[in-house]
Amino acid sequence: MTWRLGDMVLLRFSRSSLLPFLLIFCLLIISCGKKGEPTLKSYEKPDAPSDLRAIHRESEILLFWDFPAGEELTIKGFQLMKVIPPSPSIIIFLEPDKRSYTDTDFKIDSQYTYKIVSENLRGVLSNDSNIIEIMPKEPPSLPEKLSFKIEFDSLTLTWGSAGDEILYNIYKSDKKGIYSLTPFNKEPVKETSFRDSFNAEKTVYYTIRSLSGRVIRDEGSASEELEVSPSDFVPSAPGGLQAVVKDDKVYLIWKEVPDTWVVGYRVYREIDKTTGYLFIGETTIPTFIDKEEPLTKRNYKVTALGPSKEGPASEIKDVVFVPYK
């Protein structure tokens, strides 16, 4: 009996001790399954797109805008609004990583208005971007006769004029036929030439578009594509090759070639007609010393070396030391 009473007391004590822990455990389970209340920030307006701009290119209106980097995860996307008076506005939804849109549904000499907003994850819209109005006109004709010239570490593009008061955009790529929507130049070019840096180890491609000079640019068709491939460059032949003969050496001198991308010169010597010209050295300056004693008559050739190709040779013959009597 005592044992049972003691057992019962012990049992009652154990249950009363566990009760607070069971209650806390249940509250934790309930609270874990309950969704948190929406925060005030989730109802705030998201950042607005800015600097909405447009270019009319051939059969396209290209729209561009800016949005803070790293904020893409906070928005559902963008709403681009297009108005064609007197029709109601058209809303085009765009993904949050987009920063451009190509509109092909328009007519020349018709008025169009655009603005863009961002939409957060709860459907709250931002303030409006700037509003732009565009009335596309017939674009100007394309530039022709595109060519280039290399001067030291720069490359100068030149082309024929497409008309009075016409501006130009330059597009550059390292892949044939593939160009960005954004021109390489920061501002439209007034002249019919453009200077760029030159890399003698890389092939690049250029194309140029002419455009009218209004706030919203009307940009024409692309010019022919110009390939600048240093691997195709063949330097000129060195001019004015001369030899100064001493009893133990031959000093060769010549004029520098006008091609500023030349990387050096190669020198060849012929003593025996059966063996022909043999390579004897290379130099980066227009001089070379042949240290073999000129006891026998010999001929020399000098060539300029481009990024990957060797140019034609200049030659001087019958070089021999003649001692004074």
pLDDT tens figures, 183-221: 999 999 999 999 999 998 899 999 999 999 777 889 999
Report if residue 289 sits inside a domain: yes
Number of compact structural domains in the chain: 3
d(CA 325, CA 142): 73
Domain boundary among the residues 77, 101, 134 is at 134
pLDDT for 156:
97
How confident is the model over 265-321, as pLDDT tens digits?
Answer: 999 999 999 999 999 999 999 999 999 999 899 999 999 999 999 999 999 999 998
Report if residue 219 sits inside a domain: yes
Angle at 44 between CA 40 and CA 94, to 5 degrees: 135
Q: What number of helices (H) and strands (E) belong to the chain? A: 1, 21
In this prediction, residue 9 has a pLDDT band, given cuts at 50, 70 and 90, of very low
In this prediction, residue 34 has a pLDDT band, given cuts at 50, 70 and 90, of very low
Name residue, tokens 């309930």. Answer: 30
How confident is the model over 91-122, as pLDDT tens digits?
Answer: 999 999 999 999 999 999 999 999 999 999 99
Report if residue 62 sits inside a domain: yes
Query: Are 87 and 119 within one domain?
Result: yes
Query: Are 189 and 214 within one domain?
Result: yes
d(CA 321, CA 246): 6
Query: Are 266 and 297 within one domain?
Result: yes
Query: Are 227 and 248 within one domain?
Result: no
pTM of the entire structure? 0.72
Q: Is the dihedral of CA 225, 230, 234, 239 positive or negative?
A: positive
Query: Are 52 and 129 within one domain?
Result: yes
**291 backbone φψ class: left, alpha, beta (φ>0; ψ -120 to 50):** alpha
Query: Are 158 and 114 within one domain?
Result: no
3 pLDDT more than 80? no
Name residue, tokens 């998201």. Answer: 46
**148 backbone φψ class: left, alpha, beta (φ>0; ψ -120 to 50):** beta
Query: Are 95 and 164 within one domain?
Result: no
Domain span at residue 175 reads 147-231
Domain boundary among the residues 134, 167, 193 is at 134
First to last CA, the chain: 148
Report if residue 115 sits inside a domain: yes
Report if residue 67 sits inside a domain: yes
Report if residue 79 sits inside a domain: yes
Average pLDDT, the chain: 88
- Which residue would you say has higher pLDDT here, 323 or 99? 99
Report if residue 6 sits inside a domain: no
Domain boundary among the residues 69, 101, 134 is at 134
CATH number at residue 109: 2.60.40.10
Query: Are 157 and 117 within one domain?
Result: no
Report if residue 256 sits inside a domain: yes
Query: Are 226 and 306 within one domain?
Result: no
Query: Are 217 and 244 within one domain?
Result: no
Query: Are 163 and 127 within one domain?
Result: no
Query: Are 173 and 221 within one domain?
Result: yes
Among 19-28, 37-46, 119-128, 167-176, the range scoring the smallest mean pLDDT is 19-28
